[in-house]
Amino acid sequence: MFTSNPFATVPAFISPAIMQTYIVVMILLVAMGTIYDVLHKKSARYFRDNMRKSKSAATRKVGGGEMVSLAIKTAIVDVAASGEFCNARRRIAHLLTMYGFLAFAITTAIMVFSYPTPATSTPAILSQLWHIGALMICVGGYWFWFFIRADVAAEGSSPFRIMRADLFILSLLASATFALIWSYLQATGNTWATVIFWLHVLSTTLLFGTVPWSKFAHMFFKPAAAFEKRLSAANGSRSNLPAPADKPETFGSTRQQPRHY
């Protein structure tokens, strides 16, 4: 199961060209959904106005070298290490889900485009990363959904209370869960494998097709917001605000001031 390419048997009922077209369509849906979200919520104008206000209120000029340094810190601290989370459990769950999604999505595209049939021998590492990515999504996602969510952990709400903003995490969990079940049933020769495959496709389509109504687009906005915050702190335009409780580089050892974007 973990060393076999589950997509290699799909050509028995779907041609590789259709599978590859599906991947391209999903990428286009994400791009169009993100553009729609930016235009509808005026996110681009919001960040542009914030940058303009920050520049006009600056007490010192930030040079090019410092700007690059801020961008690198944003990429490492705020993006790669999810430094915006002050809760260690929430950060770990987010990192598991984020890196699991990246591994899952990238290996899916590679296997569908480069190794679409049994005749093309798939490197075992690709299949292993695909399964590990799906497992990471499930561990991080279900942990967050049932035990870490603020309305469940702090407010005592039911974990089965669903809102429109939950589309992203629920469709992502469904896609990864059905993918693992499909792979297992396929490996054991179970006749239900095809049914589960279509459920995997349906949940994946829901994931990428509902970008304007879910939190999917936030992954593109957060780096911009984090960079703008660091730039404002560096040029002195945030000097009139209270100082944060801890340094932004401190991870988990002490509580940080919550950051909301």
Which residues contact residue 167 at a Cβ distance below 8 angstroms, ignoring those fewer than 6 apart? 206, 210, 213, 214, 215
The pLDDT mean for the chain works out to 84
Nearest to 18 by CA among 105, 113, 84, 85: 113
Q: Is the pLDDT of residue 97 over 70?
A: yes
Residue 256 pLDDT: 46
Domain ranges of the chain: 6-55+88-231
Top pLDDT among 56 and 94 is at: 94
What average pLDDT does the segment 16-26 reach?
A: 96
Distance CA(205)–CA(29), nearest Å, equals 9
Match domain 6-55+88-231 to its CATH number in 1.10.3470, 2.60.40, 1.10.1740, 1.20.950.
1.20.950
Distance CA(210)–CA(205), nearest Å, equals 8
CB 122 within 8 Å of CB 12? no
Residue 243 pLDDT: 52
Least-confidence region, from 74-78, 81-85, 239-243: 239-243
What average pLDDT does the segment 119-142 reach?
A: 94
What average pLDDT does the segment 117-145 reach?
A: 93
Which residues contact residue 249 at a Cβ distance below 8 angstroms, ignoring those fewer than 6 apart? 77, 83
Tokens of 11: 């050509």
CB 44 within 8 Å of CB 158? no
What average pLDDT does the segment 201-214 reach?
A: 92
Q: Is the pLDDT of residue 156 over 70?
A: no
Top pLDDT among 234 and 47 is at: 234
Task: Give me the helices (H) in 11-56, please.
Answer: 16-41, 43-56
Residue 242 pLDDT: 53
Q: Is the pLDDT of residue 259 over 50?
A: no
CB 97 within 8 Å of CB 176? no
Q: Is the pLDDT of residue 149 over 90?
A: no
Top pLDDT among 52 and 239 is at: 52
pLDDT-based confidence at 250, cuts 50/70/90? very low
CB 87 within 8 Å of CB 143? no
SS3 251: coil
pLDDT-based confidence at 261, cuts 50/70/90? very low
Residue 252 pLDDT: 41
pLDDT-based confidence at 239, cuts 50/70/90? low
Top pLDDT among 146 and 57 is at: 146
| Main-chain dihedrals φ then ψ at residue 160, nearest 5 degrees | -95, 5
